[in-house]
Amino acid sequence: MAHWALEDIPWDRFDRSKLDPEIVKVVKAACMVEYHSGDYGAYLRSVFGDDPEFASAATAWAEEEVQHGKALRRYAELADPSFDFDEAFARFVAGHKIDVNASESTRGSRCGELVARCVVEVGTSAYYSALRDSSNEPVFREICRRIAADEFRHYKLFYSHMKRYQAIERVGVLTRLKVAAGRLFESADDELAYAYHCGSGETRPYDRRREAYSYAARTLPLYRYEHVELGFGMTLKAVGIKPQSWFGRILTRLAWAVFRRYALGLQRKSAHA
């Protein structure tokens, strides 16, 4: 059961004067990706078919993710009454299918699948925290606060199952690092870019590079050090590297320097575009 309901959001406190239209575009993309988690839950149940404990956790998890989609959808519709979610979502799903009958994880092992899930969950927790901290609009801040807390809890859920499978499958640090890095770079890949395109309502043909760039330019500069520190630190933990160790601290500082340089470069370029 979800930890909160849509009615818990103070919708009547919506303040249009504090609305950032650029963020509304981001919300439209996010609501579709979240809403699509029902299919991802089916994929996980299929991959972990003989593990009823995990399969039931995956069902509860997917329900919470779909609820994130519903809350963000309602917000996007409030902010932009012309947003046609059903039309945009139909286009998105048609172009971005998830294999709901997969018998094996696309990450090579169940442990790898769960490492990838940890990366996504801590990534989304940092993402919604960054969105919350960069906005003054009270309803949006409240939605982001609740979702960020859920995503962090999801990380803990997948992390505990990952440890269980790591003990069985004995997947080493390097393999886990490869999976985590692969999933991290996928984040900048097709799913969000395509959702961003479908949510924009534009009829021009889909250009993955252009949409991924626009999306990244609007979101990455919003991250502060504490968001990246937490997100990257928890990713290291899922891989098997202690974030508080000297090695973990150096990697985190390095990641922040590279990330910030990239984000500011995007911001500069989009300001001159």
Residues in touch with Fe ion (CB under 5 A): 34, 65, 68, 121, 151, 154
Please state the closest distance from residue 144 (CB atom) to Fe ion, in A. Answer: 11
Give the whole-angstrom CA distance, residue 236 versus residue 255: 11
Give the whole-angstrom CA distance, residue 19 versus residue 65: 24
Nearer to Fe ion, 144 or 217 (CB): 144
Tokens 């963000």 identify what position? Answer: 72
Annotate 180-222 with DSSP letters as a single string: HHHHHHHTTSHHHHHHHHHHHT--SPP-HHHHHHHHHHHHGGG
Nearer to Fe ion, 96 or 154 (CB): 154
Nearer to Fe ion, 139 or 266 (CB): 139
Q: Is 137 left (phi over 0), alpha (psi -120 to 50) or beta?
A: beta
Please state the closest distance from residue 257 (CB atom) to Fe ion, in A. Answer: 28
Please provide the distance, in angstroms rounded to a whole number, between the alpha carbons at the two ends of the chain.
46
Please state the closest distance from residue 150 (CB atom) to Fe ion, in A. Answer: 6
H or E element: which one contains 40? helix 37-47
Please state the closest distance from residue 249 (CB atom) to Fe ion, in A. Answer: 27
Give the whole-angstrom CA distance, residue 154 versus residue 167: 20
| Residue 36: C-alpha distances to residues 6, 49, 140 (Å) | 18, 20, 21
Please state the closest distance from residue 157 (CB atom) to Fe ion, in A. Answer: 9
Nearer to Fe ion, 151 or 175 (CB): 151
Please state the closest distance from residue 130 (CB atom) to Fe ion, in A. Answer: 14
Give the whole-angstrom CA distance, residue 66 versus residue 251: 34
Please state the closest distance from residue 201 (CB atom) to Fe ion, in A. Answer: 23
CB 70: neighbour CB atoms within 10 A?
Answer: 16
Q: Which structure tokens are listed for 44?
A: 């996980």
Nearer to Fe ion, 72 or 198 (CB): 72
Please state the closest distance from residue 143 (CB atom) to Fe ion, in A. Answer: 11
Nearer to Fe ion, 72 or 216 (CB): 72
Nearer to Fe ion, 83 or 152 (CB): 152
Cα-based torsion angle of the residue sequence 37, 71, 139, 230 in order, rounded to the nearest 10 degrees: -20
Nearer to Fe ion, 107 or 154 (CB): 154
Q: Which structure tokens are listed for 159?
A: 């992390």
CB 246: neighbour CB atoms within 10 A?
Answer: 8
